[in-house]
């Protein structure tokens, strides 16, 4: 194994960099357009590209119908494995096509057509993927909201996406707890200003939902009454979906993904990055509510004619820490893709990893993303499973990996802590504060030279200015990733963490700014700051530092419990907001800006330089002492 890049990779990277239009035109030939594009790349004044503008296609056609036309109808398309309900259900391409085409008919009967939005708030059941593909079939736009989000978060997304229909299920199952989704949906619909004409509810036997007629419609009845519909062709640049992600403010950003660039990029990634061929079994152990679930549970494996696994369970406790090995062995998984946090959880429960019971001979690679893969977890997984472990870095915005060990182009030597090299099409640069390229391998802001390759976000839904301000204006000519890190002498990419106020808890991206807004709304709170601190399994957890209003009398434990309940209610349990401590002062600049980086450094146990702009340096040892007393400083 060598750290020098294989010839095949170097050639593709060079071609994608020097002649992006030519390179991606070649890749575009691998998908079935209803009208192939003649215009390949158009760039705006910032350099941001739009891809394949005059091409026409349908993403559901590429995921399903193409395979029926090519004789793949009897192959398994989707395996639903649900330890929480004790079921395994298998769909061939033919069966999945029938489910999707008839559900698309049901949505059409409810008035959904090209360009309309449909919000999908579902647990990990096949109907989530069926709903997404059905929306795509109609040329409409889906917006999947992760099932762990609260009614308040769902309402924000409903107001922003203004859907015609919301598709949901009666409940989700978290290990053995049944979580009723319908009351959350009802609350969200009453909180939202946008009025939705209909919901479609998939009733699960674990808990039936109470239906409000005529608004709520039963999935099975409306699907049963509908006839299958054909695909509606759309322009390559028409939106396929909106996926909300956390930014630095309280308001989530609706990342918009187009149809054409998305299909071309994902198809390319399946062979170049994942070394995955038609018929292979691909398992992304994520959730359809996240970008990994969109790209690698639903679209990419189906575009590539593979079998995808949709897993409703956890890496541990459903029923134990061997769940991943069971699923891989039972379904002959070739590629497993999961977040490092899942492996940290497995390691904690079963440090020796009882693998002997399972035949993992079909498993070829383990891909990881969603958060930094710490070297200890990397080594443990590699040594325990004995398969290549591939860390790869990407974001909701890009929709596919920016840097990876491109298994399909020739596997390179792995370096613990690095997501290997830039994927062809992504031109990674490390910049300093002034936007100058850093060449001495030291840390800086990771930026991507424009144009981005196909598949990346085209805008922020309803707010193009926010897209330009947030990503394109900081470093002219580049996309600002929000991550910091460095490139080593072999051009390996090391992503060290966010440079903004976004944190990553168990592979879930959360905004500390949003949590601050909620904490600040407590009547006892004068001022607060939320930062991400180290957590052994989940990587990070939020911590609130709170200043009380003068004269308020509330003990710390009561306040903490109330704040925990507020964040859980407003964002959801997935925020894992469990800690709030009282401080007397917060470190600020003379102009009043809270020095969050200093707080993060204190919590990380790192040494720090006291900036000359600080107003009250004496507060630093004081905060350090409070954090230490509360055992909040990283070991
Ligand atoms: N619906 C409702 N509630 C949900 C939910 C959902 N879809 N997903 C999570 N929650 C709740 C959980 O029940 C839990 O609630 P609790 O505080 O009442 O116990 C809370 O949100 C936190 O959930 P989670 O982060 O899953 O923690 P956990 O302790 O249950 O499990 C791990 C820990 C490590 C096993 C789990 O976080 C995990 O598998 N992470 C991998 C994440 C991942 O794949 N991310 C995708 C990025 S590629
Ligand atoms: P999300 O948009 O939810 O996928 O989160 C994207 C963020 O997760 C990135 O900006 C990174 O901070 C982090 N991330 C994802 N993958 C990696 C990785 N392989 N290494 C380091 N950080 C990662």
Which residue owns the Cα nearest ligand 1 atom 37?
Answer: 506
Laid out side by side, the sheet with 165-169 consists of 216-218, 198-202, 165-169, 117-121, 141-144, 239-245, 253-258, 459-460
CA 398 to chain centre: 10
What is d(CA 506, CA 499) in angstroms, rounded to the nearest whole number? 18
Residue 352: per-residue pLDDT: 85
Span from the CA of 13 to the centroid of ligand 1 (angstroms): 37
Span from the CA of 268 to the centroid of ligand 2 (angstroms): 21
Which residue owns the Cα nearest ligand 1 atom 16?
Answer: 573
Comparing CA positions, the residue from 143, 140, 66, 78 lying closest to residue 103 is 140
Span from the CA of 497 to the centroid of ligand 2 (angstroms): 8
Residue 536: per-residue pLDDT: 95
**Does a structural domain hold residue 122?**
yes
pLDDT band, very low/low/confident/very high, at 248 (cuts 50, 70, 90): confident
Mutation test of ligand 1: which of 574, 575, 579 has the most ligand atoms closer than 8 Å to its C-beta? 574
* Helical pair 596-603 and 619-629, crossing angle rounded to 10 deg: 40
Evaluate if residue 1 carries a pLDDT over 60: no
Query: Which strand (E) or helix (H) includes residue 56?
Result: strand 56-57
pLDDT band, very low/low/confident/very high, at 490 (cuts 50, 70, 90): very high
Span from the CA of 571 to the centroid of ligand 1 (angstroms): 13
Question: CB of 11 within 8 A of CB of 17?
Answer: no
Both 434 and 516 in a single domain? no
Read off the CATH number of the domain in which 211 is found.
3.40.50.12780
Residue 577: per-residue pLDDT: 98
Give Cβ neighbours of residue 472 (< 8 Å, ≥ 6 apart): 46, 47, 48, 450, 478, 479, 480
Enter the tokens of residue 599. 């707080």
pLDDT band, very low/low/confident/very high, at 63 (cuts 50, 70, 90): very high
Residue 591: per-residue pLDDT: 87
**Does a structural domain hold residue 474?**
yes
**CA 246 vs CA 249, 253, 348, 401, 472: distances in Å:** 8, 6, 29, 19, 18
**What is the pTM assigned to this prediction?**
0.96
pLDDT band, very low/low/confident/very high, at 3 (cuts 50, 70, 90): confident
Instruction: Provide the greatest CA pair distance for the chain.
Output: 75
**Where do runs of H (alpha helix) occur along 386-475?**
464-467
Read off the CATH number of the domain in which 527 is found.
3.30.300.30
Query: Which strand (E) or helix (H) includes residue 224?
Result: helix 219-224
Ligand nearest to the CA of 457: 2
What is d(CA 239, CA 285) in angstroms, rounded to the nearest whole number? 26
- Last residue of a domain, which of 452, 486, 520? 486
Which residue owns the Cα nearest ligand 2 atom 21?
Answer: 372
- Last residue of a domain, which of 486, 515, 533? 486
Both 102 and 233 in a single domain? yes
pLDDT band, very low/low/confident/very high, at 123 (cuts 50, 70, 90): very high
Residue 422: per-residue pLDDT: 98
Both 471 and 518 in a single domain? no
Span from the CA of 339 to the centroid of ligand 2 (angstroms): 10
Which residue owns the Cα nearest ligand 2 atom 23?
Answer: 371
Both 27 and 56 in a single domain? yes
Would you say the CB of residue 395 lies under 6 angstroms from ligand 2?
yes
- The model's pLDDT over 87-106, given as tens digits with 9 standing for 90+, comes to 999 999 999 999 999 999 99
Q: How many domains does the chain have?
A: 2
Both 470 and 547 in a single domain? no
**Does a structural domain hold residue 304?**
yes
**Does a structural domain hold residue 558?**
yes
**Does a structural domain hold residue 331?**
no
Span from the CA of 396 to the centroid of ligand 2 (angstroms): 8
Span from the CA of 321 to the centroid of ligand 1 (angstroms): 15
Span from the CA of 442 to the centroid of ligand 2 (angstroms): 20
**Does a structural domain hold residue 366?**
no
Question: CB of 240 within 8 A of CB of 64?
Answer: no
Beta-strand runs (E) in 536-571? 539-548
Residue 109: per-residue pLDDT: 98
Span from the CA of 614 to the centroid of ligand 1 (angstroms): 38
Comparing CA positions, the residue from 106, 109, 100 lying closest to residue 130 is 100
Span from the CA of 372 to the centroid of ligand 2 (angstroms): 7
Ligand nearest to the CA of 292: 1
- Give 281's strand partners: 307
Both 159 and 55 in a single domain? yes
Mutation test of ligand 2: which of 390, 394, 493 has the most ligand atoms closer than 8 Å to its C-beta? 394
- The model's pLDDT over 21-50, given as tens digits with 9 standing for 90+, comes to 999 999 999 999 999 999 999 999 999 999
Backbone angles phi and psi of 53, in degrees to 5:
-50, -40
CB count, 10 Å around CB of 584? Answer: 10
Residue 21: per-residue pLDDT: 98
**Does a structural domain hold residue 343?**
no
Residue 353: per-residue pLDDT: 83
Which residue owns the Cα nearest ligand 1 atom 1?
Answer: 148
Ligand nearest to the CA of 148: 1
**Does a structural domain hold residue 19?**
yes
What percent of the chain clears pLDDT 70, i.e. is strictly above it?
100
pLDDT band, very low/low/confident/very high, at 354 (cuts 50, 70, 90): confident
Evaluate if residue 256 carries a pLDDT over 70: yes
Ligand nearest to the CA of 84: 1
Enter the tokens of residue 631. 């055992």
Both 71 and 153 in a single domain? yes
Residue 508: per-residue pLDDT: 93
Both 476 and 529 in a single domain? no
Both 99 and 228 in a single domain? yes
Comparing CA positions, the residue from 104, 281, 246 lying closest to residue 575 is 246
- Looking at residues 427-436, what average pLDDT do you find? 97
Residue 250: per-residue pLDDT: 75
Evaluate if residue 2 carries a pLDDT over 70: no
Evaluate if residue 459 carries a pLDDT over 60: yes
Mean residue pLDDT of the chain comes to 96
- Last residue of a domain, which of 486, 521, 555? 486
Comparing CA positions, the residue from 11, 6, 24 lying closest to residue 400 is 24
Span from the CA of 290 to the centroid of ligand 1 (angstroms): 12
Span from the CA of 403 to the centroid of ligand 2 (angstroms): 11
- The model's pLDDT over 521-569, given as tens digits with 9 standing for 90+, comes to 999 999 999 999 999 999 999 999 999 999 999 999 999 999 999 999 9
- The model's pLDDT over 588-633, given as tens digits with 9 standing for 90+, comes to 999 888 999 999 999 999 999 998 889 989 999 999 999 999 999 9
Which residue owns the Cα nearest ligand 2 atom 4?
Answer: 395
Residue 344: per-residue pLDDT: 97
What is d(CA 196, CA 166) in angstroms, rounded to the nearest whole number? 7
- Looking at residues 116-140, what average pLDDT do you find? 98
Residue 157: per-residue pLDDT: 97
Would you say the CB of residue 482 lies under 6 angstroms from ligand 2?
yes
- Looking at residues 305-313, what average pLDDT do you find? 98
Task: List the domain range (segments joined by +) for residue 624.
Answer: 506-629
Both 590 and 453 in a single domain? no
Both 521 and 562 in a single domain? yes
Residue 531: per-residue pLDDT: 96
Strand, coil or helix: 184? helix
Q: What is the DSSP letter of 573?
A: G
Both 472 and 580 in a single domain? no
Pocket of ligand 1 (CB under 6 A): 123, 147-148, 172, 174, 179, 285-286, 290, 292, 314-316, 338-339, 341-342, 345, 369-370, 506-508, 537, 573-574, 576
Which residue owns the Cα nearest ligand 2 atom 20?
Answer: 372
Q: Any idea what the Cα angle at residue 603 is, between residues 600 and 607, rounded to 5°? A: 80
Ligand nearest to the CA of 121: 1
- Looking at residues 374-403, what average pLDDT do you find? 96
Tokens 């891809």 identify what position?
51
Ligand nearest to the CA of 151: 1
């Amino acid at each position: 194994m060598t750290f020098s890049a294989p010839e095949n990779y170097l050639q593709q990277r060079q071609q994608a960099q020097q002649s992006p239009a030519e390179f991606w035109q070649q890749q575009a030939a691998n998908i079935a357009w209803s009208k192939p594009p003649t215009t390949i790349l158009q760039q705006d004044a910032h350099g941001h590209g739009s891809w394949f503008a005059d091409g026409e296609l349908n993403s559901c056609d590429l995921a399903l119908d193409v395979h029926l036309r090519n004789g793949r109808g009897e192959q398994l398309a989707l395996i639903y494995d649900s330890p929480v309900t004790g079921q395994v259900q298998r769909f061939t391409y033919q069966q999945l096509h029938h489910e999707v085409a008839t559900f698309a008919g049901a949505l059409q009967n409810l008035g959904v057509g090209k360009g309309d939005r449909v919000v999908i708030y579902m647990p990990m059941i096949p109907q989530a993927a069926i709903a997404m593909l059905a929306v795509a079939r109609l040329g409409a736009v889906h917006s999947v909201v992760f099932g762990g989000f609260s009614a308040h978060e769902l309402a924000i997304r409903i107001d922003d996406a203004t859907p015609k229909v919301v598709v949901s299920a009666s409940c989700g199952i978290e290990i053995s707890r049944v979580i009723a989704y319908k009351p959350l949906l009802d609350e969200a619909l009453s909180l939202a200003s946008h009025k939705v004409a209909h919901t479609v509810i998939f009733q699960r036997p674990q808990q039936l939902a109470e239906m409000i007629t005529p608004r709520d419609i039963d999935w099975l009845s409306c699907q049963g009454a509908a006839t299958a519909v054909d695909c509606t062709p759309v322009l390559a640049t028409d939106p396929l979906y909106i996926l909300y992600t956390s930014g630095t403010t309280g308001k989530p950003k609706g990342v918009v993904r187009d149809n054409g660039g998305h299909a071309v990029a994902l198809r390319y990634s399946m062979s170049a990055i994942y070394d995955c061929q038609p018929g292979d079994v691909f398992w992304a152990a994520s959730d359809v509510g996240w970008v990994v679930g969109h790209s690698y549970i639903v679209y990419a494996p189906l575009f590539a004619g593979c079998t995808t696994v949709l897993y409703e369970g956890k890496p541990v406790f459903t029923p134990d820490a061997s769940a991943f090995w069971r699923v891989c062995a039972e379904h002959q998984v070739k590629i497993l893709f999961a977040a490092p946090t899942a492996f940290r959880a497995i390691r904690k429960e079963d440090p020796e990893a009882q693998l002997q019971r399972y035949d993992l001979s079909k498993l070829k690679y383990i891909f990881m993303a969603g958060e930094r893969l710490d070297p200890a977890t990397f080594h443990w997984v590699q040594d325990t499973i004995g398969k290549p472990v591939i860390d790869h870095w990407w974001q909701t915005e890009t929709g596919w990996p920016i840097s990876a060990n491109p298994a399909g182009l020739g596997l390179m030597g792995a370096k613990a802590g690095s997501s290997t090299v830039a994927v062809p099409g992504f031109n990674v640069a490390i910049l300093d504060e002034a936007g100058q390229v850093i060449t001495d391998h030291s840390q800086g802001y990771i930026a991507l030279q424009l144009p981005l390759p196909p598949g990346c976000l085209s805008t922020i839904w309803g707010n193009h200015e926010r897209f330009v301000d947030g990503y394109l204006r900081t470093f002219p000519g580049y996309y600002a990733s929000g991550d910091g890190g460095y490139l080593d002498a072999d051009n390996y990419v090391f992503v060290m963490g966010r440079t903004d106020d976004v944190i990553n808890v168990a592979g879930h991206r959360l905004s500390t700014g949003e949590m601050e807004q909620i904490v600040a709304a407590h009547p006892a709170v004068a001022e607060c700051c939320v930062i991400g601190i180290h957590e052994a399994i989940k990587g990070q957890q939020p911590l609130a530092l709170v200043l009380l209003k003068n004269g308020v009398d509330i003990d710390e434990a009561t306040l903490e419990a109330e704040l925990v309940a507020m964040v859980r209610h407003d964002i959801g349990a997935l925020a894992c907001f469990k800690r709030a401590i009282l401080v007397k002062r917060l470190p600020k600049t003379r102009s009043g800006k809270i020095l969050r980086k200093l707080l993060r450094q204190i919590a990380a146990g790192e040494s720090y330089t006291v900036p000359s702009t600080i107003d009250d340096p004496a507060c630093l040892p004081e905060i350090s002492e409070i954090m230490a007393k509360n055992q909040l400083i990283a070991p």
